[in-house]
Structure formats: C-alpha cells, structure tokens
C-alpha cells in the first residue's frame, strides 16, 4: 500500500489536466511503475516521509532510491495541497537522480509524469519513450506514452499504447485509460463498463476508489443520467469526505439537479481543500447563478493569482485560461492569442474545441467552423462541444443548424453548463 501510494504521482494528467474536457483517464491513479519502488510513503503522511527522505539524503546525497522517492513525494504534495512549487522541487530532485543514474526508470517515468502535469506533452512523450527503452515490459510506461500521444492528437497511437498497457496489466490505471478512450470515441456504455472495472480494481485503495466512483458518476452526468451520477458521487464522498475531486464532482451533480446552494457548499469545500483554477471558476459561476456577484467576482479574481503561480512553476495552461476568458467575455483578443499558442502545444479535440470557441467569441466564426468540426471528429458525445457548434452555426446565419446542435446538446444533458444551458434552451426553441 505504501509503495502504491507513493507512486500514484506517476499517473496521467495531474491536478491541472481537468477543464471543460472530460477528466483524463488516470488523473490520480497509481501505475505499474509503483511496484518498482521498494520504499513508499503512507497516504496522508507525505510531509513526514519527505522529512525522513531529506534526512537520508543529507547523510547520503547520492542515494538514488531516496532521490526517486522524494521526487515522487513532491509531486504527491502538489496533489494534496495544490502548491505548484513542489513541481519545481520534484524536477530538481529527479534530474539529480538521473545525473547519478542515467537509466533510472523511476526518475525517467517520474519526469514524464511531471511533464504531463505541466501540460508539456512533447517532452512527456520523449521521456515516455526513453522510459520504454529502459524497460519495455513496464506497463505504466505505456500510460505515459499514451497520455502524451492523446494530448498531441495522435489518437491511434494513444489507443494502441493503452491497449498494450491493459494487456500487460489490467488494473485501475489501464481500465481508466481504456474508459477515457472509449468516451472520446463516443462509446459511452463501453466507457462506463471499463470505468466500473476500474472501480472494482480500486477496492481497498481509498483515493483510487473515490476517484473511480467520481469518474463513473461524471460519465453518467455527462450523458443525462444525474440520478445514477448522484449514487456514484455519494459513494465517492463517503469513501473520502475530504477528497476535492469527489467534492467537485458532487457539486456538478447537485448543480445539474438544480440544487445550486448545495452545489456551492460542495464546491466551497473542494476549493478550500485544493484551489484548482477550474474548480474556483466553477464556484464563481455557481455564485453568479444565484445572484451573488460579489462572491463570484472574488472567485474569478483568485484564478489569475493561481494561474500565475502555475506558470511560474512550469505549467502551461494557455488553453484553460483561454477557455475561461472566452466563456466570461474577458480580454477576448488576448484569449484568442492564448488559444492559438495552446493549440500548437496541444492539438487535441480539446484544443480544437477551445480554439473554435475562442474564435467564435471574437466574431471569427468562419475561421472557427473547421476547428469545431475537428473537435467532433472522433464521435465524442459532449454537450458543450455540441453547444459551441450550435453557437458557431448561429453566428454564420445557419439558424436551422443552430437549433439542431443546441437540441443535440440538450438531449444529451439538459443542464450541461451553469453558464450556457439556458442559452442553448432558448436557441433550440426559435
């Protein structure tokens, strides 16, 4: 259990990977690389473990195993606290480990995960390939490679890597990735079945179990089944009442049921625990929805400070910032610049959608259209992408197309967005 907890950082994505897109397949889940750690740290006791490792390294600065574990522990602290300065510390420690042992698998894979968490996907791919050269029989390496390929828009290669990972080690991480791949392809029921397998595999691991039930609930929610989603989120919160991802998921479910005050209470708890930009933004939107514009603006103002800390510690969040600004009509020309820069780094269906939406919000709907079409090229069933496509159709004077796309969004999930569901409903009944 200790080793698995320690190496949970080596999972795909990281704290900042989630935005309007579905959560990536393994945000907080352990990978097979974990089994190679002989010394781990107990969940919830990371600070004490860090102190112990630092003491070991003062006595023996060339202890590669201690360096590896400390680098992972620093990444764990980001997940526990939201403090992105630990990313910088983790990089320094893991690079020191590699300087001592250039073919060290844990440090190489750990740096690959760090690159994923920072949204530096080309670097992550290079590191994943390097880890693969060191150990082609380690299943978790295929997760790092597949995650990077996914965000670079290379879906066939990503899915092949996930299939290889699942064949080698059918566990929580591999099932979760398979689920996300199926979701991207629009195979919703198959995605749910894979995530249910992940939940079964996670029994006995509190955080992983809470994560899988949350993710399964969000799958149900995204496809118009809020009551099933509520059941999963209740399980997730029961497993860990302090887990910010589960609390955020419960807030989304409560909002979809029209329980905005309850949603605020859950999102407030999530943000108090770990203030992720997307969650802070959602809390602001919830406050705005109930007419509390003062608290809404307070949350929106906080996002800028969080993003500056992230950027200072190597996180590239251009697409996420662009999406928030486009949604809220903030600095739209600058948002478009960020979207173009972010798209170059992350030419995925998420990047397609954000660039399309940002172009549309800047009145460049003709240019937006092909990106919006590309965002749907895999067959993904995503109400927000459908809404964006409808907005663009309306902008181009295609009223019939707008009604059709708005109707598709609402049929999939009638309350897909605190900000935009009512707009879609009005547009669908023209």
Q: What percent of the chain has pLDDT over 90?
A: 86
Contacts (Cβ under 8 Å, ≥6 apart) of 268? 283
Average pLDDT, the chain: 89
Both tokens of 376, joined, read: 């749907």
Enumerate the H helices of 318-382 as residue ranges.
318-328, 332-345, 349-361, 365-375
Here the contacts of 398-402 (C-beta below 8 Å, separation 24 or greater) are 399/430, 402/427, 402/430
pLDDT at 243 over 60: yes
Asked, for residue 244, whether it belongs to a domain, the answer is no
- Angle 136-140-143 (CA atoms, 0-180°, nearest 5)? 105
Query: DSSP assignment, residue 39?
Result: S
Q: Is residue 71 part of a domain?
A: yes
Total number of domains constituting the chain: 2
| Mean pLDDT of all residues in 218-243 | 96
Residue with tokens 């549309």: 360
378 part of a folded domain: yes
Query: Look-up: residue for tokens 């990313």?
Result: 87
pLDDT digits (tens, 9 = 90+) for 279-300: 999 999 999 999 999 999 999 9
* 401 assigned to some structural domain: yes
Q: Does 245 map to a domain?
A: no
CATH of residue 20's domain is 1.25.40.10
pLDDT of residue 157: 98
Q: Is the pLDDT of residue 116 over 60?
A: yes
Of 126, 150, 165, which marks where a domain is finished? 165
Of 148, 165, 182, the residue at which a domain comes to its end is: 165
pLDDT at 81: 87
Is residue 280 within 8 Å of 306, Cβ to Cβ? yes
pTM of the model: 0.89
Distance CA 423, CA 415 (A): 11
* 339 located within any domain: yes
Residue 95 exposed, middle or buried by CB count within 10 Å (0-12, 13-18, 19+): middle
Per DSSP, the chain holds a count of helices (H) and strands (E) of 23, 0
Which domain covers residue 2, as residue numbers? 1-165
Q: Is residue 240 part of a domain?
A: no
176 part of a folded domain: no
DSSP-assigned letter for residue 174: H
Q: What is the pLDDT of residue 44?
A: 54
pLDDT higher than threshold 70 for residue 100 = yes
The answer for residues whose C-beta is within 8 angstroms of residue 166's C-beta and 6 or more apart is: 174, 175, 177, 178
CA distance 156 to 180: 14
Looking at the chain, the whole-number percentage of residues with pLDDT higher than 70 is 90
Q: CA dist 43 to 77, 78, 113, Å?
A: 11, 13, 19
Supply the DSSP string of 239-276, one letter for each residue. Answer: H-TT-HHHHHHHHHHHHHTT-HHHHHHHHHHHHHH---
Tokens 């112990």, residue? 52
Residue 360 tokens read as: 């549309």
Q: Read off the pLDDT of each residue in 135-144 and give the average, rounded to a whole number.
A: 95
């Amino acid at each position: 259990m200790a080793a698995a907890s320690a190496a949970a950082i080596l999972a795909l994505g990281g704290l900042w990977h989630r935005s309007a897109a579905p959560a990536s397949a393994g945000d907080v889940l352990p990978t097979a690389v974990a089994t190679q750690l002989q010394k781990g740290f107990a969940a919830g006791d990371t600070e004490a473990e860090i102190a112990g490792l630092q003491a070991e390294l003062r006595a023996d600065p060339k202890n590669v195993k201690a360096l590896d574990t400390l680098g992972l522990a620093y990444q764990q602290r980001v997940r526990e606290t939201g403090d992105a300065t630990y990313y910088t510390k983790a990089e320094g420690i893991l690079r020191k480990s590699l300087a001592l042992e250039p073919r060290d698998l844990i440090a190489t894979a750990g740096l690959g995960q760090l690159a994923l968490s920072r949204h530096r996907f080309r670097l992550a791919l290079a590191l994943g390939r390097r880890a693969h050269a060191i150990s082609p029989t380690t299943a978790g390496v295929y997760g790092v490679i597949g995650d990077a390929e996914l965000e670079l828009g290379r879906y066939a290669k990503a899915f092949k890597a996930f299939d290889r990972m699942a064949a080698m080690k059918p566990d929580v991480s591999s099932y979760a990735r398979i689920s996300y791949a199926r979701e991207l392809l629009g195979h919703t029921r198959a995605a749910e079945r894979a995530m249910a397998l992940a939940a079964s595999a996670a029994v006995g691991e509190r955080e992983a179990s809470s994560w899988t039930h949350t993710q399964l609930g969000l799958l149900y929610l995204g496809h118009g089944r809020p009551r099933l989603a509520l059941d999963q989120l209740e399980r997730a919160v029961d497993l860990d009442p302090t887990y910010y991802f589960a609390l955020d998921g419960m807030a989304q479910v409560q909002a979809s049921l029209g329980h905005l005050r309850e949603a605020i209470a859950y999102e407030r708890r999530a943000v108090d625990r770990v203030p992720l930009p997307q969650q802070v933004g959602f809390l602001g939107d919830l406050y705005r929805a109930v007419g509390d514009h003062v608290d809404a603006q307070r949350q929106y103002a906080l996002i800028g400070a969080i993003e500056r800390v992230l950027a200072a510690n190597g996180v590239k969040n251009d697409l996420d910032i662009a999406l928030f600004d486009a949604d809220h009509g903030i600095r739209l020309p600058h948002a478009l610049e960020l979207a173009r820069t972010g798209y170059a780094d992350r030419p995925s269906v998420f990047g397609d959608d954000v660039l399309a939406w940002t172009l549309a919000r800047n009145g460049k709907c003709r240019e937006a259209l092909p990106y919006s079409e590309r965002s749907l090229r895999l067959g993904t069933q995503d109400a927000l992408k459908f809404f964006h496509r409808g907005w663009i159709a309306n902008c181009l004077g295609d009223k019939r197309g707008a009604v059709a796309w708005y109707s598709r969004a609402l049929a999939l999930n009638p309350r897909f967005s605190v900000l935009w569901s009512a707009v879609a409903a009005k547009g669908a009944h023209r």
